[in-house]
Chain A
Amino acid sequence: MDILTLFVVVPVLTAIALMFTKDLKQARMTTMIGMLIEFGMAINLIFAYFRERAVNTDIMVFKQDMMWFESFNIHYAIGVDGISVLMIILTATVVLAGVFISWMIDDMPKEFFITLVILATGVYGFFISLDLFTMFVFYEIAVIPMYLLIGIWGSGPREYAAMKLTLMLMGASALLLVGILGIYYNSTAGGGDLTFNILEIAQVNIPFAAQKLFFPLTFIGFAVIGALFPFHTWSPDGHASAPTAVSMLHAGVLMKLGGYGIFRVAMYLLPEGTNYWSTFFIVLSVIGVIYGALAAIKQTDLKYINAYSSVSHLGMVIFALLMLNKTAWTGAILQSLSHGFMTALFFALIGMIYGRTHTRDATKMGGLLKVIPFISMIYVVAGLASLGLPGMSGFVAEMNIFAGAFQHTDTFHRVMSILVVSSIVVTAVYILRVVGMMLMGPVRNEEYHSLKDATWFERVGIYMLLIPVVGIGVAPLWLSNMILDSIKPFIRGIETLM
């Protein structure tokens, strides 16, 4: 079994093992072990990747190709480049942290962890697959468990939120499917087999008419899960109703599928389409950035605030991707990573605070710094990371994005870039607003004085997410280099047009 397929196999085995567990203890131990193995593999993968990269100059390494459905030339084709490696590490970390955070899940723990693990399977598969069909399969595998996770273990209007989320994401994948089929049936320039293999499709240039038609389908198909305005409405409700670990996984990893897919499929395979449509989608993404930030100002529910800030941050990712230059793309990938860790951390903390105060309404809390200093300080740190404080991952990512954006000298791009840059102020406003309301000020509620600070497993989860946030922020060089050399082959297709 090759190094990549294991990433899909291990979770499946974990799920199977989970079916035989009796109670919470066994279930969480099993999951933790499985996910620890996964995490170890992810760490190992990055070293393996560097070793391989040293001798192997292909776009993708660790390639595996297995014929699946011969008549359609559908393969089980996998492989990774630097970007997918990073995404896999992100996934492994967030999932493991999520397991720790949901250490005390009481209702149907076995089922919870099984569903969670299946979700993880889908995500891993998505990140390693090179074949559009395989990719699509894993994409849907990753999306569907959300319904059960939110619906069963959620809170508030969970049924509504779960249904909304599932339908919108599935509707998106419907568009995506049409786009993929369109790509498939144009994937050969006269003669030769049709193929789903991304790398092979990238060799032929798809007729412009087809690109014009299928780019928006593919793009929107992915952008919905990337919470692009105006397709973001599933995310606030979904996040708000989801249980902690699921919000973490969802905001931390699942929403990254969008940007990743746009980068890997839509823009890589349909460069001319990208060029043709970029203006339109840039406008959308910029609206998303500003709009998400401004909408977050008015929210009082912590999870809603984070959901909207995710809309804003991920809008930045899409914006950066559409800037079509290396710096911005590096920024986009970094932003995905940083947002992944940071938001996961945020949701973990919100979950802890909610578990203690039983409210998510920031206006009802106050002075938490006094009663639960550890959680509160970490919350402040996460907040600072989110508003792009130097030394945190967010700053590095945003700076790359801005620097890339400012390399366009025409007025349209300039205006858009300035709008996006100005979002950092709004971000500061809503972050500090929450910090001021919730953590600082006098303690509003007397029984808060009896609250306990984070437990050991919560601390483990927190540190797992905090370390990368700071790490990326302090020493971004190796990371950006790694991303850069993975981006080069992708940018080429675009640059020839510009």
Chain B
Amino acid sequence: MNITSFLLMRHEIILLVLILAMLVLEVATKPSQKKRLINIAIGLFLIHTIIGFFPAETGELFGGSFRTTGLIHFFKNVLNIGVLIILLQSADWLRDKVAEYNKIPEFFILLFSSLLGMNYMISSGDFLMFYIGLELSTLPLVALVAYNSFSEKSTEAAIKLILSAALASAVSLFGISMLYATGGSIFFEEIAANLQTSNLAILGMVFFFSGVAFKISLAPFHFWTADVYEGAPIGITSYLSVISKGAAVFVLMSILFTVLPALTDVWKNVVYIVAILTMFVGNLFALRQQNMKRFLAYSSIAQAGFMLMGIIHGGNLGVATVVFFLLVYVFSNLGAFGVVQAISSETGKENMDDYTGLYRTNPKLALALLLALFSLAGIPPLAGFFGKFFLYMAAASVKEYLLVFLAVVNVTISLYYYLLPVRNMFLRKSDDAIPYFKSKSMMRTGLVLAVLGILVLGLYSPLYNYIVELSASVL
């Protein structure tokens, strides 16, 4: 193995460089100049994102603890785009709210390191790497959630997150140890090779599963979600709801498929139960939410439930559909969160009723939110519809018609609450509607990116075909 083979870790290395660069700049720049760092950091990350799209070869490092395939590479790019949009959307917040506490570079450092953790987690080849990645992605997030250190909500959210996360990782570690005991190794290939169905293995699988399910916020491991989402700064909320959830889903999928094929029948049942539970819990709780962040939190829980339908399939088709759905989901959710953030950073209003009559004052924002919500609800011809439809196809192809039926019932329920903000924004007039404001250029770019994604991704079929090709190689 020569030095060039480290280029397999291109994403991670560049991220590391970024982090170090931010550290240096942090020291180098005067407090008054720190605001510049925002643009610099975003610019750098943009470059990173672009570089990410250059073709990368696949392979393994460190004796298999780090591996990368076309799909993993692609998925890292998806995460990058997501993070880029998040950065663009939270630039204003940083400039206006955070700058005065002089905590701008740390934000990027923490965010990037969390992303770094994700990347390692995604391309981990053994449980050790996986565990480190997991923690590396979680701990900075906790700090970020607590970022607004003068807000009690933020702190409370952080405590809830760290404690639950610690519990979750402890449980999943316990599970991993059992898998280690039965599989005789911490390397995925070897476990996959010599793992037999045994109660201990099943126990380990369930424990491990619950740990990851916690990050995906599947019921009943989802309780932290709403509170943390509400308390955290919106940028971080969207990061939690999109990036960390997405990465976790991806990892869960690849581990279940590649490491625990021996237990397929078992984990299918687990996933089945959890999927139905999650959909219903997410939707039923979302019905009555007033705070937009909580509302989106529950909706994202429900969405996670849908993703599991692809996992149930347990084959290439499932992988492709899930990845595609994640891609779509990134854009849709970020669109929604972006509007919420734009409004809250402008007016500080986060309640659904504050949105009344929004269309007549801020048509563009309202339209963006409409599209995002419809995409989440799965209305054609927006991307969300295709994402959901393919998930149904995946589930139906293994004759899980009941699951599909329950899913579509849930879609109907979800449509109800997705229409509530729409109702407020479009159907109703209000005298104290949010007055017209012109959001900053970065925010607008972020929203435009998201909306473009929503509009184009579904209809543009070559993308999906490309994902299919990639996912053919992973299993």
- Within 8 Å by CB, do A and B touch in the complex? yes
The 9 closest A-B pairs by CB, nearest first: A174-B408, A181-B396, A151-B427, A137-B380, A171-B412, A71-B468, A69-B461, A140-B380, A178-B405
Question: Is the Cβ of B392 less than 8 Å from the Cβ of A177?
Answer: yes
Q: List 16 A-B contacts (CB under 8 A).
A: A70-B468, A71-B320, A136-B380, A137-B385, A148-B427, A159-B423, A163-B419, A163-B423, A167-B416, A170-B411, A170-B412, A171-B409, A177-B389, A177-B404, A185-B397, A213-B401
- Complex interface residues of chain B between 392 and 421 (CB less than 8 A to chain A): 392-393, 396-397, 399, 401, 404-405, 408-409, 411-412, 415-416, 419
Does B426 make an interface contact (CB < 8 A)?
yes
Question: How many residues on chain B are close to A (CB under 8 Å)?
Answer: 33
Partner of B423, one of A71, A151, A167: A151
- A302 CB to closest chain B CB (Å) equals 24
- B353 CB to closest chain A CB (Å) equals 14
Question: Is the Cβ of B412 less than 8 Å from the Cβ of A140?
Answer: no
- Complex interface residues of chain A between 306 and 333 (CB less than 8 A to chain B): none
Does A468 make an interface contact (CB < 8 A)?
no
Does B198 make an interface contact (CB < 8 A)?
no
Docked Cα-Cα span, A391 to B92, in Å, equals 69
Docked Cα-Cα span, A171 to B415, in Å, equals 10
Q: What residues on A are CB-neighbors of B64 within 8 Å? A: none
- Complex interface residues of chain B between 451 and 475 (CB less than 8 A to chain A): 461, 464-465, 468
Q: What residues on A are CB-neighbors of B374 within 8 Å? A: 144
Docked Cα-Cα span, A380 to B387, in Å, equals 51
Question: Is the Cβ of B427 less than 8 Å from the Cβ of A162?
Answer: yes
Question: Is the Cβ of B416 less than 8 Å from the Cβ of A163?
Answer: yes
Question: Is the Cβ of B419 less than 8 Å from the Cβ of A147?
Answer: yes
Knowing A70-B461, A144-B379, A185-B397 touch, does A174 contact B468 (C-beta < 8 A)? no
Q: What residues on A are CB-neighbors of B412 within 8 Å? A: 167, 170-171, 174
Docked Cα-Cα span, A184 to B399, in Å, equals 12
Question: Is the Cβ of B408 less than 8 Å from the Cβ of A185?
Answer: no
Question: Is the Cβ of B426 less than 8 Å from the Cβ of A140?
Answer: no
Does B315 make an interface contact (CB < 8 A)?
no
Question: How many residues on chain A are close to B (CB under 8 Å)?
Answer: 33
Q: What residues on B are CB-neighbors of A175 within 8 Å? A: 408
Q: What residues on B are CB-neighbors of A148 within 8 Å? A: 422, 426-427
Q: What residues on B are CB-neighbors of A138 within 8 Å? A: 380
Question: Is the Cβ of A181 less than 8 Å from the Cβ of B393?
Answer: yes
Q: What residues on B are CB-neighbors of A68 within 8 Å? A: 461
Does A50 make an interface contact (CB < 8 A)?
no
Q: What residues on B are CB-neighbors of A178 within 8 Å? A: 396, 401, 404-405, 408
Between A136, A140, A174, A213, the greatest number of chain B beta carbons within 10 A of the residue's beta carbon is seen for A174
- B461 CB to closest chain A CB (Å) equals 5
Q: What residues on B are CB-neighbors of A182 within 8 Å? A: 396, 401
- B201 CB to closest chain A CB (Å) equals 32
Docked Cα-Cα span, A141 to B385, in Å, equals 11
Docked Cα-Cα span, A136 to B401, in Å, equals 18
Q: Taking CB as reference atom, which chain A residue is nearest B398?
A: A185
Q: What residues on A are CB-neighbors of B261 within 8 Å? A: none
Q: What residues on A are CB-neighbors of B428 within 8 Å? A: 159
Docked Cα-Cα span, A427 to B404, in Å, equals 42
Partner of A174, one of B320, B381, B411, B464: B411
- A340 CB to closest chain B CB (Å) equals 24
Chain A contact residues: over half helix, strand or loop, or mixed? helix
Q: Taking CB as reference atom, which chain B residue is nearest A217?
A: B405
Does B390 make an interface contact (CB < 8 A)?
yes
Q: Taking CB as reference atom, which chain B residue is nearest A139?
A: B380
Docked Cα-Cα span, A141 to B427, in Å, equals 19
Question: Is the Cβ of A140 less than 8 Å from the Cβ of B385?
Answer: yes
Q: What residues on A are CB-neighbors of B380 within 8 Å? A: 136-138, 140-141
Q: Taking CB as reference atom, which chain B residue is nearest A171?
A: B412
Question: Is the Cβ of B381 less than 8 Å from the Cβ of A137?
Answer: yes
Docked Cα-Cα span, A301 to B465, in Å, equals 53
Does A276 make an interface contact (CB < 8 A)?
no
Q: What residues on A are CB-neighbors of B409 within 8 Å? A: 171, 174
Q: What residues on A are CB-neighbors of B465 within 8 Å? A: 69-71
Does A158 make an interface contact (CB < 8 A)?
yes
- Complex interface residues of chain A between 14 and 28 (CB less than 8 A to chain B): none
Docked Cα-Cα span, A68 to B426, in Å, equals 34
Knowing A69-B464, A71-B465, A147-B419 touch, does A152 contact B427 (C-beta < 8 A)? yes
Beyond A163-B423, A174-B412, 16 additional pairs, beta carbon < 8 A: A71-B317, A72-B390, A140-B385, A148-B422, A152-B426, A159-B423, A166-B415, A171-B412, A174-B411, A175-B408, A177-B392, A178-B405, A178-B408, A181-B396, A182-B396, A185-B396
Docked Cα-Cα span, A152 to B357, in Å, equals 11
Docked Cα-Cα span, A148 to B371, in Å, equals 13
- B218 CB to closest chain A CB (Å) equals 22
Q: Taking CB as reference atom, which chain A residue is nearest B464?
A: A69
Docked Cα-Cα span, A182 to B317, in Å, equals 17
Q: Taking CB as reference atom, which chain B residue is nearest A162?
A: B427
Docked Cα-Cα span, A425 to B423, in Å, equals 42
Docked Cα-Cα span, A70 to B469, in Å, equals 11
- A118 CB to closest chain B CB (Å) equals 10
Question: Is the Cβ of B392 less than 8 Å from the Cβ of A181?
Answer: yes
- B161 CB to closest chain A CB (Å) equals 35
Q: What residues on A are CB-neighbors of B464 within 8 Å? A: 69, 71
Q: What residues on A are CB-neighbors of B381 within 8 Å? A: 137, 141
- B324 CB to closest chain A CB (Å) equals 10
